[in-house]
Amino acid sequence: MIRNRNTYLQRTLDGRQEIMIETVVLVVIAAVAGGLVLGFLARGLVASQSIKAAQDKSGRIVAEARTQQKELILQAKDEQVRLQRETEEEARAKRADLSNLERRLLQRDEQLDQRTDMLEERNRKLLGKEQELETKRDELTSARQEQVAALELVGQMSVEEARASLLD
């Protein structure tokens, strides 16, 4: 029975063998073509997903970079404002110091001017007193010379001449 079966199969196979080979070849070609199409589609889908993932990733990276850029710009502006404030405060402090120094120098200059004026006035007074003393000295010298001359004159007079001179 097995033999009969094999023979039946062979007979059926011989007639159909040609059809079957063609069918198998067509099925294999169709399977290969389908596999290629599916592979191509799958590859396209994977590539599309990879591109989308890469685009999403690049979008996130760009967004992060922009966020970091904005943060850095804000930090730089804050630093600039802080430095400008510090510079203005330092300039204000230096101007105040210079103003105080200028005020002190002006006061000192005024004090020196007053002292100079006072010393000049003192010198004028001393010169005036010196001239007065010189004048009085001259007057005293003159008066002394007159008295010495008068005494010499009286010394040459006799007692009676002196009395007469005194009574006159």
CB-based contact 2:9 (threshold 8 Å): no
Average pLDDT score over the chain: 85
Q: How many Cα neighbours within 13 Å face the side chain of 31?
A: 6
CB-based contact 165:157 (threshold 8 Å): yes
Q: Which whole-number Å values give the CA distances from 66 to 17, 71, 100, 110, in the listed order? A: 70, 8, 50, 64
Residue 160 belongs to domain spanning: 2-167
Could you read off the pLDDT of 120-160 as tens digits, one per residue? 999 999 999 999 999 999 999 998 898 888 877 777 877 77
pLDDT the model gives residue 114: 95
Predicted TM-score (pTM) of the model is: 0.42
pLDDT the model gives residue 15: 52
Q: How many domains does the chain have?
A: 1
